[in-house]
Chain A
Amino acid sequence: MEYFLQQLINGLTLGAIYGLIAIGYTMVYGIVGMINFAHGEVYMIGAFVSLIAFTILGTFAFANPVVAILIVLVAAIVFTAAYGWTVERIAYRPLRGSFRLAPLISAIGVSIFLQNYVHLLQGAKMKPLQPVVTGGFVLAQDGGFAVRITYLQIGIVVATVVLMAAFTLLIQKTSLGRAQRACEQDRKMAALLGVNVDRTISITFVMGAALAAVAGLIFTLYYGAVDFFIGFLAGLKAFTAAVLGGIGSLPGAMLGGVLIGLIEAFWSAHFPIAYKDVAVFAILVIVLIFRPTGLLGRPDVEKV
Chain B
Amino acid sequence: MRNIIAITKRELYGYFSTPVAYVFIVIFLFMTGIFTFYVGSFYERNQADLDPFFNFHPWLYLFLLPAIAMRLWSEERKSGTIELLMTLPVTITEAVVGKFVAAWLFSAVALVLSFPIWITVNYLGDPDNTVILSAYTGSLLMAGGFLAIGSCVSALTRSQVIAFVISVVICFLFVLSGFPMVLNVFQSWAPQALIDAVASFSFLTHFSAISKGVIDLRDIVYFAVLIVFWLYATVVVIDMKKGG
Are A and B interaction partners? Answer: no
A residues contacting B by CB (< 8 A) are none
